[in-house]
Amino acid sequence: MYGYACIYQANIDTVKEIDPEELTITFVCSHYPREMMKHLFSVRSIRAEQKGEGIYWLTGDAIAMQLLITPKLSGAENYWLQKLRIDLKAGEEIRDVMRNYEKHRKIKDYEAVMDLITRANWNQMKEEKKMCEALKELFAEELREADKKGRTEGMELAKKIFQLSAKGTPVEKIAEECGLPVEKVREMLG
């Protein structure tokens, strides 16, 4: 990660286009990495300072670093960070992530985070997709029947509207009899 941060900072057109002080390396973990922190302290004199629940600043290096412990983060404020892990549960948890992503799917940052979550939880995502496919198959016949029924009822309603209109029934009366807004009846009669 350190190398990527340096490459990112160096891959610019003008000097200090990206100020090194604006870079941050972020470690996202499911638990506090004691061995890594011991190593960073003994080799590089880097210390962890807790700044909030599940949030630590790692001090003592030229590049700013932070450590996020996802289970400790507040759910409401850090929803997407909490989902950056490899143990999402197939079923409701994955469906919840999908629903939340759907609200923001046209925003690049959400797309990138969802890509990471999907790759980290590939098997669970495949399992969820299989469950969704099975449900589609299970309800396919019912959906076809409902579609057919809806079309039949729609045709019956249209037929009734045109028959009433042909008899000279006023649009307002047709709308009342058919339970439709007057504008919709006018639109259908064209």
- Residue-wise pLDDT for 33-91, tens only, equals 999 999 999 999 999 999 988 999 999 998 899 999 988 888 777 888 888 888 888 88
**Is 136 a domain residue?**
no
Whether 3 has a pLDDT exceeding 60, the answer reads yes
Residue 143 CB: number of other CB atoms within 10 A? Answer: 11
Pairing, β 64-69 against β 24-29: parallel
**Is 107 a domain residue?**
no
**Is 51 a domain residue?**
yes
| pLDDT top residue among 131 and 78 | 78
So what's the pLDDT on residue 134?
61
Name the region of 50 (left: φ>0; alpha: ψ -120 to 50; beta: rest). Answer: beta
**Average pLDDT for the chain:** 84
Domain count, the chain: 2
DSSP readout, 39-95?
A: HHHHHH--EEEEEETTEEEEESSSSEEEEEEGGGS-TTTTHHHHT-SS-PPTTHHHH
Q: Which of 21, 50, 76 is the last residue of a domain?
A: 76
Q: Which of 60, 76, 92 is the last residue of a domain?
A: 76
Model-level pTM?
Answer: 0.53
What domain range includes position 165?
141-189
In this prediction, residues 117-121 reach a mean pLDDT of 85
Per 3-state DSSP, the chain is made up of helix, strand and coil in percentages (nearest 5) of 60, 10, 25
**Is 69 a domain residue?**
yes
**Is 37 a domain residue?**
yes
Whether 138 has a pLDDT exceeding 80, the answer reads no
Phi then psi dihedrals of residue 19, to 5 deg: -70, 130
Chain centroid to CA 55: how far? 23
| CATH code for position 1 | 2.60.40
